[in-house]
């Protein structure tokens, strides 16, 4: 089962699992955080690629009764839990959405994994758990006690709740701290989409912290390869210390590109791919944002064999090409 199957990463993971011969049940509540039409199009894209291997149900996994009813009679041996209320900035406006989806929703999925004796649940955490840490690159061994947004706090809470389930019920769990994922079928609230849309439309782009921003941009294909590889290797219940420090069957990994790119360089590459210059508005730092992210991926390389291969010089033109084709611009 893949939650958030109409989302950016969820749809891509579902497609990859189907392509290798797995049968996938995708669930998503299709909320209107961004345009629902894109979510429907992602689901249709996965269905088209794997009509016999992919099934989809619209359900809100934060609603236990609705979730239980939707899963009645469904059979699955493992879970990739990618559904969440995403976005740092929106958490300042609508905190309850994050509590419902990311806290209640996560507990519900842990309960599903426990009661169905799942072989493994891989779940989405976030690089935002590192908060304002200024030691770079971020390591899974670093402390994550000082989140700077409610979104980050909910993701940290998910990790803590998962640790208790691994301890109490020995449920094998792997949390993935994603670093700025981008690529075809991406999210409209992310910088790459916003910048591409503005440049092609002739509108100015807003660049925060006066342009002094760095992100570990990770291409969707690399992320999906990492998610699937993790799914295939549940942490052992052997008392040994796992990545992230647990001695339970619970591992935590950074999943990024292991390169921190300055935002101004990303804008240059979008300009090149669009064939147009950007009109830039330099803005102050946004509340809840951080200046730099940079993933130390030693643990996931060592344990899982994860190796990102796509540079932003390769990945950004692929996103812009998809964007133009999708929007016919």
Active site positions, annotated? 151
Q: Which of 116, 121, 18, 21 is nearest to 74 (CA)?
A: 116
Q: Which two tokens stand for residue 227?
A: 């998610």
* Neighbouring residues of 94: CB distance < 8 A, sequence distance ≥ 6: none
Unique residue bearing structure tokens 């069957």: 249
Give the Cα-Cα-Cα angle 102, 13, 104 (nearest 5 degrees).
15
Going by C-alpha positions, the residue among 16, 8, 2 that lies closest to residue 229 is: 16
Q: What token pair was written down for 315?
A: 């990945």
- Cα–Cα distance list, 65 to 31, 60, 107 (Å): 18, 10, 13
Helices (H), the chain: 8-19, 36-49, 64-71, 90-93, 95-98, 105-115, 150-169, 191-201, 220-231, 263-274, 298-304, 312-327
The DSSP bridge partners found for residue 306 are none
Alpha-carbon distance of 301 to 76, in angstroms, equals 28
Beta-carbon contacts of 329 under 8 Å, excluding residues fewer than 6 positions away, are 200, 323
């Amino acid at each position: 089962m893949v939650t958030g199957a109409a989302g950016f990463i969820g749809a891509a993971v579902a497609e990859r699992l189907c392509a290798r011969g797995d049968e996938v049940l995708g669930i998503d509540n299709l909320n209107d955080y961004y345009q629902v039409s894109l979510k429907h199009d992602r689901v249709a894209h996965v269905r088209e690629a794997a009509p016999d291997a992919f099934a989809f149900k619209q359900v809100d996994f934060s609603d236990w009764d609705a979730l239980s009813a939707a899963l009645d009679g469904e059979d699955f041996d493992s879970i990739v839990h990618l559904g969440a209320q995403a976005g740092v900035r929106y958490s300042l406006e609508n905190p309850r959405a994050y509590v419902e989806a990311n806290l209640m929703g996560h507990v519900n999925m842990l309960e599903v994994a426990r009661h169905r004796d799942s072989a493994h649940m891989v779940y989405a955490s976030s690089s935002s758990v590192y908060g304002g840490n200024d030691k770079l690159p971020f390591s899974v061994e670093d402390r994550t006690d000082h989140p700077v947004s409610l979104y980050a706090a909910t993701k940290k809470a998910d990790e803590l709740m998962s640790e208790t389930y691994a301890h109490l019920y020995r449920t094998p769990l792997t949390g993935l701290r994603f670093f700025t994922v981008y690529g075809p079928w991406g999210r409209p609230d992310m910088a790459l989409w916003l910048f591409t849309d503005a440049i092609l439309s002739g509108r100015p782009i807003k660049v925060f912290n006066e342009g002094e921003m760095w992100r570990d941009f990770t291409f969707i294909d690399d992320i999906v390869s990492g998610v699937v590889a993790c799914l295939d290797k549940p942490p052992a219940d052997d008392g040994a210390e796992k990545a992230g420090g647990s001695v339970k069957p619970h591992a935590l990994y950074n999943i990024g590109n292991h390169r921190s790119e300055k935002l101004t360089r990303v804008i240059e590459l979008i300009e090149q791919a669009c064939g147009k210059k950007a009109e830039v508005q330099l803005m102050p730092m946004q509340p809840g944002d951080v200046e730099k992210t940079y993933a130390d991926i030693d643990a996931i390389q060592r344990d899982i064999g994860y190796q990102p291969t796509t540079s932003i010089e390769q990945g950004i033109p692929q996103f812009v090409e998809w964007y133009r084709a999708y929007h016919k611009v």
